[in-house]
Amino acid sequence: MPHIACWRWLCSTTRSGPAWSLPPATARPVFGAASSAALPDLVPRHRLSAASSANEGRDATLSMVGPVVDGALIVVATWAPFAFAALTFAMSGAC
């Protein structure tokens, strides 16, 4: 029953939180650096500070709201956060 072992690993907690928070936590520095590096190529120079501020504000808001939404979804059902993630990935893939 390897799926049970995987489920236990996903639900186990570490010092930094649930195990499923580790992959996003390791990807965040790479994505943040790439996002900041690409910004000057996407935004006119006179709007660069406003665009950078908007990016930082978005990241800060999502880092505060995301765990609350995840916690609420786990209260609803243990599978709900995974279904929500799958739905949002499908929506972003459709765009």
Per-residue model confidence (pLDDT) at position 45: 93
Task: Please state the rounded mean pLDDT for residues 33-46.
Answer: 87
Instruction: Indicate the pTM of the whole model.
Output: 0.56
Start-end of H helices in 46-79: 48-76
Number of domains present in the structure of the chain: 1
* Cα distances (Å, whole numbers) of residue 88 to 6, 91, 93, 95: 23, 5, 8, 11
**Residue corresponding to tokens 């786990």:** 74
pLDDT tens for each residue of 42-84: 899 999 999 999 988 988 898 898 888 888 888 888 888 888 8
Report the C-alpha gap between 7 and 43 in whole angstroms. Answer: 43
Q: DSSP secondary-structure letter at 28?
A: H
Domain around 67: 2-94
